[in-house]
Amino acid sequence: MNQILEKSIFEYSRAGRSAHAQQPPGADVASAAQKIPAALRRRTAPMLPEVSELDAVRHFTRLSQLNFSIDTNFYPLGSCTMKYNPKACNQYAMLPEFLARHPLAPDTQGQGFLSCMFELQEMLKEVTGMKAVSLNPMAGAHGEFAGVAMIRAYHRARGDLARNEIIVPEAAHGTNPATATMCGCIVKEIPVDAQGDVDLDALAKAVGPNTAGIMLTNPSTLGVFERKIEQVAKLVHGAGGLLYYDGANLNAILGKVRPGDMGFDVIHMNLHKTFSTPHGGGGPGAGAVGVSARLEPFLPVPIVGREGDHYRWLSEADRPQSIGRLSAFMGNAGVLLRAYIYMRMLGREGMSRVGEYATLNANYVMARLRQAGFDLAYPERRASHEFIVTMKRQAKELNVTAMDIAKRLLDYGFHAPTTYFPLLVPECLLIEPTETESRETLDGFVAAMASIMAEAQADASTLKTAPHTMPVRRLDDVRAAKQLDLTWKPVNSAA
């Protein structure tokens, strides 16, 4: 990896230099400014770089080279489903007509795009077993928000106003309790048992007349399938609550079992995980939501409807009970197109193979790491599409932590698994290989893990001071938070 850091784009800047070909011809800045009342005019130019096109291209290309990515490295980041993003999905979502279409263009000028969206809704219904789908939410957490807001709206519409508690297992993603709070609900956390299943006794005590619903990920964030899901559904429904399915781990069961059949009333799907749209260094995602029949009236708008051969957006007028609009326009439309292309390329059989091979790869890596002497958090259980290794023993015996392993893996060219999540397993590594990785890559990862373990036994300092080959070594996070430096400033500036 390149050891030389790339300087700031502002350090390339020279007054008067520009990427001239990018500027509109014939623009008269002075006369435009004259039309703006003096008090409303900008007085000093913004600090944007003044560079040539080549300067910009070289700088950002170099920055890209400082990243690990799926295209360059195995990226077994648990709970994130970092599978290959097929190039066709990007190319055909970026056809000029799709890119140029204005969001407020009439439906008649968008039948191609809208037909893709309608078919995407239909396919998502099929793979999840839900009755209806809205594509509007723009990420997983946004979908969660829509889901919990629908649960609230449902209870309110029935005059069931006391139901404001959302039950969340302690292993849940942080977004679950944060979402419940954003929806004005109270969060009740419940424990899981030693085998990773929800503690039914605790659940039975937690449900009651105030229960709005429960948020569950299945397979759970512990990397195991929630075996008591039918009893959970019965308990929560029996108490008058609804079941929310966090689709973060849908990849594990695609084509094998459907949330709708498990008794869930509302789900969100992370299209950037299961349906392979890019993670983009932190988005854009897409968090489509699916619902059972009783929640359909509350789906966020817009939704694509079909009338004969014509597709159109359904809005507030069509869905008066809708929880409303969560984006200014139509959600992350271009991401949805990518998911559509991916699903059409996989088709019926390809979709069923996703869950199978994701599970095969995870169980294979789990078996091999166990052979190599690593401790599993749930050794009696099958892995779903991911599993947890705990470094609790090594932390005590060798003084190496999960973080040390994670950082050392970078030196071997592997992105680290998710560390310290879920919070209830000490010193954990959550490992998700995905179905798109070959056996050779998985074997290479296992070999790296075994080699790191041998290093830890020989001289732990190799791990404690890792990484050694990245553009930077471990960063001072405390300094970052205490001496906030959030924007670049010229060296001579007083600030």
Partner 1 sequence: MPFIPHTEQDVREMLVTIGAPSIDALFDEIPASLRISGLDGIPEGLSEMEIGRLMGERARLDGRPLSFLGAGAYEHHIPSAVWTITTRGEFYSAYTPYQAEASQGTLQLIYEYQTMISSLTGMEVSNASLYDGGSAVAEAALMAVRAHRKSKSLRVLVPQTVNPNYRRVAISTAGNQGLRFETVAYRREDGCIDREALAAYAGEDIAALVIQQPNFFGQLEDVDALTDWAHEQGMLVIAVVNPTSLALLKPPGEWGKTGADICVGEGQPLGVPLSSGGPYFGFMTTRMEYVRSMPGRIVGRTVDLDGKQGYTLTLQAREQHIRRGKATSNICTNQGLLMTAATIYMTLIGPQGLSKVAAASMQRSDELVEALTQVKGVRAAFKGPRFHEAVLLLDRPASAVLRELEAQGILGGLDLSGDYPELGSALLVCATETKTAGDLARYAAALGAAVQKVRAA
Report the site for partner 1 in 206-245 (rule: CB under 8 A): 224-225, 227, 229-230
| By the rule CB under 8 A, 11 interacts with partner 1 | no
Residues listed for the chain:
495
| By the rule CB under 8 A, 488 interacts with partner 1 | yes
Q: Residue 196 in contact with residue 376, Cβ under 8 Å?
A: no
Q: Among residues 92 and 314, whose Cβ is nearest to partner 1? A: 92
| By the rule CB under 8 A, 386 interacts with partner 1 | no
| By the rule CB under 8 A, 102 interacts with partner 1 | yes
> What's the CA gap between 115 and 111, in Å, rounded?
6
**Residues facing 390 on adjacent strands:** 375, 428
Tokens describing residue 371: 């052979």
Which of 155, 163, 268, 272 contacts partner 1 by CB under 8 A? 272
Closest of 357, 364, 356 to residue 256, by C-alpha? 356
Report the site for partner 1 in 280-339 (rule: CB under 8 A): 280-285, 300, 316, 323-335
CB of 204 to partner 1, least distance (A): 20
Q: Among residues 91 and 457, whose Cβ is nearest to partner 1? A: 91
Q: Among residues 37 and 457, whose Cβ is nearest to partner 1? A: 37
From its phi and psi, is residue 276 left (phi > 0), alpha (psi between -120 and 50) or beta?
left
| By the rule CB under 8 A, 31 interacts with partner 1 | yes
Closest of 387, 379, 376 to residue 442, by C-alpha? 387
| By the rule CB under 8 A, 353 interacts with partner 1 | yes
Which of 150, 215, 407, 449 contacts partner 1 by CB under 8 A? 407
CB of 476 to partner 1, least distance (A): 5
CB of 99 to partner 1, least distance (A): 4
Torsion sign, CA atoms 334, 338, 341, 347: negative
Which range touches partner 1 (CB under 8 A), out of 52-60, 200-208, 390-398, 449-457?
Answer: 52-60
CB of 269 to partner 1, least distance (A): 13
Query: Contacts from 62-66 at CB under 8 Å and sequence distance 24+?
Result: 62/2, 62/6, 63/6, 65/2, 66/1, 66/2, 66/6, 66/471
| By the rule CB under 8 A, 66 interacts with partner 1 | yes
| By the rule CB under 8 A, 70 interacts with partner 1 | yes
Q: Among residues 21 and 494, whose Cβ is nearest to partner 1? A: 21
Within 8 A by CB and 6+ apart from 448, the residues are: 409, 412, 413, 414
Q: Among residues 182 and 398, whose Cβ is nearest to partner 1? A: 182
Which range touches partner 1 (CB under 8 A), out of 144-152, 202-210, 393-401, 447-455?
Answer: 144-152
| By the rule CB under 8 A, 106 interacts with partner 1 | yes
| By the rule CB under 8 A, 180 interacts with partner 1 | yes
> What's the CA gap between 50 and 17, in Å, rounded?
5
> What's the CA gap between 395 and 407, in Å, rounded?
15
From its phi and psi, is residue 347 left (phi > 0), alpha (psi between -120 and 50) or beta?
left
> What's the CA gap between 489 and 495, in Å, rounded?
7
Q: Residue 335 in contact with residue 277, Cβ under 8 Å?
A: yes
Which of 190, 299, 351, 449 contacts partner 1 by CB under 8 A? 351
CB of 228 to partner 1, least distance (A): 9
Q: Among residues 397 and 488, whose Cβ is nearest to partner 1? A: 488
> What's the CA gap between 407 and 397, in Å, rounded?
19
| By the rule CB under 8 A, 459 interacts with partner 1 | no
| By the rule CB under 8 A, 471 interacts with partner 1 | yes
Total of residues contacting partner 1 (CB under 8 A): 203
CB of 390 to partner 1, least distance (A): 19
- DSSP one-letter string for 73-120: SB--BTTS------HHHHHHHT-HHHHH--TTS-GGG-HHHHHHHHHH
CB of 347 to partner 1, least distance (A): 3
CB of 440 to partner 1, least distance (A): 9
Distance from chain centroid for Cα 73 = 19
200: number of CA atoms within 13 Å, CB side?
11
User: How many other β-carbons are positioned within 10 Å of the β-carbon of residue 54?
Assistant: 9
CB of 267 to partner 1, least distance (A): 15
| By the rule CB under 8 A, 267 interacts with partner 1 | no
Residues 159-178, one symbol each (x = binds partner 1 by CB under 8 A, - = not), give --------------xxx-xx
Which of 207, 435, 448, 456 contacts partner 1 by CB under 8 A? 435
CB of 150 to partner 1, least distance (A): 11
